[in-house]
Amino acid sequence: MFKRTLLALALGLAAVAPAHAKPAKADALTRMFTWWNAAFKTPGAYTPAAFRAYFTEDATLTINGAQVATGVEGWAKHFQRIQGNGGIVEIVLPFRKVGQVGDTIYTYHVIRSVRSSVAGCLLAGGYATVRGGKISAVVLSRAPIDASSDPDCAMP
């Protein structure tokens, strides 16, 4: 089910983004994930104050249909937990596809990881909404892919 949703999001992005999207080099989602990647490598960097620079106070994170974080406090706790589990997680930038239409940023990207010496890779598709220049919601569908089948899955 999620793979079909992911495929539908990717196809929708491919259809919408080229025709109507603004250039996305400086979009809010890319800026946030650039910070996020660096912060993951820095213990203690995921603080509510740090998330506040990128997110509205009531921002939500929904993954595969389940809301996993609400508000900057919730975002900080969620990612502190992931960071505390050890290993490496990285959002591959630039995104495979990204485009912004109005206050919605559409994305199709890869998430790579290593935990307990095991490489993992996810394909993610979805969108973020922006309010007042900050992200107010991120909604993603993610599905695992074979890390050996995609060059974006290789850790640098």
Give Cα 115 to chain centroid, integer Å: 19
pLDDT in tens, 30-44: 999 999 999 999 999
pLDDT 10s digits, 67-81: 999 999 999 999 999
Kindly state the average pLDDT of the residues 18-22. Answer: 46
4 phi, psi to nearest 5 deg: -65, -40
Give the integer Cα–Cα distance in Å for 69 and 78. Answer: 7
Domains and CATH numbers, the chain: 2-153 (3.10.450.50)
- Report the pLDDT value the prediction gives residue 89, as an integer from 0 to 100: 95
Rounded percentage of the chain residues whose pLDDT exceeds 90: 74
Tens-digit pLDDT profile for residues 118-153: 889 999 999 999 999 999 999 999 999 998 889 999
